[in-house]
Amino acid sequence: MNRRTLLIAAPALLLAPVARAQEGSIRLRDLYNNDRSFSDLALSLKGEHIKVDGFMAPPLKAESTFFVLTKMPMAACPFCVPGRTWPGDILAVYARRSVDVIPFNVPMRAISIPELGDQTDPELGFYSRVRLVEATYERV
């Protein structure tokens, strides 16, 4: 790559993360590798606002700022029923305000900066590897 090519490509390379967040949503499965480690995409999103589409799982608690975003609609809380398989494509979402529940079968989008790393919610005991904090959300 010569200097001219680099100078021409530099703005596009610098704006690519912003364009990715504005263009569309990140798929839950794209945040992990097959071995459940974080993907290169997930690691590259540090400090960026992202959009993630999915469905709101039935809330664990009323009047909460927390909900779980799932890939597929789930009529029953997947964490409350003994023997139910733990979904692989979930995302913990901590909203800026108390959550207005969206029906389990209505597509939605959560928007925020992701946090990576193991964490257990001190109030609910919910374990997460990826979270959206100070999130906003909307129906799509």
What digits encode the pLDDT tens for the residues 86-106?
Answer: 566 789 999 999 999 999 999
In a domain, 98, yes or no: yes
pLDDT number for residue 52: 95
In a domain, 6, yes or no: no
* Domain span holding position 69: 25-139
pLDDT number for residue 136: 96
pLDDT in tens, 24-82: 789 888 988 888 889 999 999 989 999 999 999 888 777 899 999 999 898 776 666 66
Q: Which residue has the higher pLDDT, 2 or 90?
A: 90
Contact 73, 104 (CB under 8 A): yes
In a domain, 49, yes or no: yes
Residue 134: which of 42, 65, 37 has the closest Cα? 65
pLDDT at 13 over 50: no
In a domain, 11, yes or no: no
The Cα-based distances of 91 to 10, 11, 58, 75, 130 in angstroms read 33, 32, 13, 17, 6
In a domain, 14, yes or no: no
The CATH number of residue 123's host domain is: 2.40.50.140
pLDDT number for residue 124: 82
